[in-house]
Amino acid sequence: MDSHLLRTFVAVVRAGSFSAAARELGYTQAAVSQQIASLESDLKVTLLHRRPVRPTEAGARLLDHAEPILLRLRAARSEIDRLGGAPRLRLRVGAAPLAAAHAAGALAAARRAHPRLDAAVRVLPRAGIGAAVATGGLDIGLVDGIAAPTDPLRPDADAPVTAAAVAERPLAVALPAAHPLASRPGLDLRDLVDALWLDAPDVAAPLPDLRRAAGVRDGFRPSLACAGGDLALVAALVAAGHGLAVLPAGAAGHPGLAEVPVRAPRVVHRTELLCPRSPGPAGTAFSAALTADAI
Amino acid sequence: MDSHLLRTFVAVVRAGSFSAAARELGYTQAAVSQQIASLESDLKVTLLHRRPVRPTEAGARLLDHAEPILLRLRAARSEIDRLGGAPRLRLRVGAAPLAAAHAAGALAAARRAHPRLDAAVRVLPRAGIGAAVATGGLDIGLVDGIAAPTDPLRPDADAPVTAAAVAERPLAVALPAAHPLASRPGLDLRDLVDALWLDAPDVAAPLPDLRRAAGVRDGFRPSLACAGGDLALVAALVAAGHGLAVLPAGAAGHPGLAEVPVRAPRVVHRTELLCPRSPGPAGTAFSAALTADAI
DNA sequence: ACTGTTTACGGAGACCGTAAGTATC
DNA sequence: GATACTTACGGTCTCCGTAAACAGT
């Protein structure tokens, strides 16, 4: 089970085709076919259905392992590379939309500590941030999510990064000001299982997280998907009645929008800092500034 | 950075010698030397000091990644293998000494669900249990440790297993009945930083865990190391005045031994169940019995 | 001098590309 | 019949073993 076989296996699954994966990897189709055949004969299972190309049960399981393994291999190389080169004064911060606000103060502290710092901030979807920090694409990550108080987020459990709590804030349900529940002093998420929700996983709390928090398998039906986007768009969509959203209290200001604190279950909006195993001097200064006054 | 190169790298570091690693892996020394040279030229760093053989800084970092990667590769193969074969009615339970008590009831439930079950329990040191569950050496693991209430243990963070809480119990300091603190109603661990402690990490709370809980870097000096062993031995050693130990309240009964509850910091003795990604029918029954009445 | 690592060299095998074969849409 | 995967075959390159050189202890 060689790592480069796993690499092409993952590429084939992602591309949905042997030939497309071959183009992507710079091989011929035949080579890819042989590599998959070799993996399958090694493991004595068929990993892929052909026509259309789609992982079998065993293939899906292998994929669950292959992606973290490849991520970790990239992370290892990246860490060794960083160790060799001189410590550059560079700080690429990647932050999820609702976590980005925390970057400002810490970035200022890092620039104070290193005046010639070459710094940059990018707002990104939560999903890839852990992996990017692990593989050196980012020097620092800021992610957010909902969790029970003091519980860790574990956004990318397989990425070899250190996570530290930055802040925890109460949550609120955003709803149109005219909504019958808008005047309530507080809400229980479990009473909103049957409402219609905005599906904006990059900005608001993702619906699966709400289901988990409420302890239900179904419910929190999406009314409108909103990929990417920013807080203002989500606020406008909620105000326009497209669906509800769970946001940190005080995050969304918009005419026609009301906010009701979440009373139960006991969950909070949590922000975490993701650091590589060997953060450079600037990363250390950044993270020290953020975790000094944490929670 | 091929996985089999990582394999020999890890073997060389562990063996402390190229030739010993070669014997272990069934290669010649020359082959091992070439493999290490190939790794080093690939990463453009020297990974090992020679004579004596010892990892460099970069080698140590690589090792941090290599071991989880190899573990995960073994876990992947094991999971695929298990998927192919018919689901055997076999249940190998591995449990840390203070977690083993929980096995009895759940094992009974599993046997009730599967009368022809081939079951076995082994008491093991905490350390390898997660890896053994991931790689199929065990079907179920039971580990224990100290943590803040409701906080997860994460004993083998890199092993791809699912962890579930089984129980949380208050902690107590075990000390000789004649000890001046034995009559106290409760103790703060931070007041015992300068005491002498029994270093019995397989049974009692490991001293590094106590340091972490108390928030100190030093202290909790070991008086006597006690590898392996069982609860009775630890109790006898404590009663004989060799040092203190932190145990779950009520665990140690021994003449001449006193137990004082830990009042602060707020930590508990927590037991967790470790399951592979695809537990067999018996493992499912076992884990259902244990997590049904959890906490 | 001895133990242990590196380098040199040769053969077996792995791996990929070309090209022909085969199955599915 | 066209598209896409598989199989066959040959060349190249990798990788390991043998053997000799080399370096610490």
Answer whether residue B86 shows pLDDT above 90. no
Question: How far, in Å, CA of B37 to CA of B64, rounded?
Answer: 19
CATH number of B168-268: 3.40.190.10
CATH number of A90-166+270-292: 3.40.190.10
B interface residues, A as partner, C-beta within 8 Å: 1-4, 43-45, 57-58, 61-62, 64-66, 68-69, 72-73, 75-77, 79-81, 83-84, 148, 150-151, 160, 277-278
* Chain B positions in Cβ-Cβ contact with residue A80 (cut-off 8 Å): 43, 45, 58, 61-62
Those residues of chain A that have pLDDT short of 50 are none
8 A C-beta contact, residue B193 and residue B246: no
In sequence order, the β-bridge partners of residue A118 are A90
Q: Report how many helices (DSSP H) and strands (DSSP E) chain A contains, helices first.
A: 9, 13
The confidence score (pLDDT) of residue B294 equals 56
Over the stretch B8-25, which tens digit does the pLDDT of each residue have?
999 999 999 999 999 999
CB spacing of A45 vs B2 below 8 angstroms: no
Over the stretch A53-98, which tens digit does the pLDDT of each residue have?
999 999 999 999 999 999 999 999 999 998 877 777 889 999 998 8
Min distance B193 CA to chain A CA atoms (Å) = 25
Could you tell me where the beta strands, DSSP code E, fall in B125-195?
A: 140-147, 162-169, 171-176, 187-188
Answer whether residue B252 shows pLDDT above 80. no
Strand D-proximal residues of B, range 30-59, CB below 7 A, are 30-31, 34-35, 38, 51
Span B226-246, average pLDDT: 86
Q: How far is the CA of A21 from the C1' of D3 (A)?
A: 16
* pLDDT over 90, % of chain B: 47
The confidence score (pLDDT) of residue B146 equals 92
Question: pLDDT grade, residue B190 (50/70/90)?
Answer: confident
Over the stretch A160-175, which tens digit does the pLDDT of each residue have?
999 999 989 999 999 9
* Chain A positions in Cβ-Cβ contact with residue B277 (cut-off 8 Å): 61, 64
Question: How far, in Å, CA of B235 to CA of B254, rounded?
Answer: 6
Q: Check for a shared fold between A90-166+270-292 and A168-268.
A: yes
Q: How far is the CA of A30 from the C1' of D8 (A)?
A: 11
8 A C-beta contact, residue B83 and residue A93: no
Amino acid in position B151: D
Strand C-proximal residues of A, range 7-26, CB below 7 A, are 26
Question: pLDDT grade, residue B193 (50/70/90)?
Answer: confident
* In chain A, where the domains are located: 3-83, 90-166+270-292, 168-268
Question: pLDDT grade, residue B83 (50/70/90)?
Answer: confident
The confidence score (pLDDT) of residue A295 equals 53
Cβ-Cβ contacts under 8 Å for A227 (sequence gap 6 or more):
A200, A201, A202
Residue B267's CB: how many other CB atoms inside 10 A? 24
Q: Considering CB atoms only, which of B58, B150, B278 is closest to A80?
A: B58
A interface residues, B as partner, C-beta within 8 Å: 1-4, 43-45, 57-58, 61-62, 64-66, 68-69, 72-73, 75-77, 79-81, 83-84, 148, 150-151, 160, 277-278
- Two tokens, residue B246: 């932190």
Min distance B76 CA to chain A CA atoms (Å) = 6
- Two tokens, residue B95: 């449990």
Residue A230's CB: how many other CB atoms inside 10 A? 14
8 A C-beta contact, residue A12 and residue A53: yes
Distances from the Cα of A214 to the Cα of A156, A186, A190, A207, A233, angstroms = 22, 15, 5, 10, 26
The pTM (predicted TM-score) of the whole model is: 0.89
Strand C-proximal residues of B, range 48-107, CB below 7 A, are 50-51, 53
Answer whether residue B213 shows pLDDT above 70. yes
The confidence score (pLDDT) of residue B295 equals 54
Residue whose structure tokens are 């402390």: B16
| Interface test mutation site (partner A, options B3, B44, B65, B72, max chain A beta carbons within 10 A) | B65
Answer whether residue B216 shows pLDDT above 80. yes
CATH number of A3-83: 1.10.10.10
In sequence order, the β-bridge partners of residue B91 are B119
Q: How far is the CA of B30 from the C1' of C6 (A)?
A: 8
Residue whose structure tokens are 């009314």: A223
CB spacing of B80 vs A150 below 8 angstroms: no
In sequence order, the β-bridge partners of residue B164 are B273
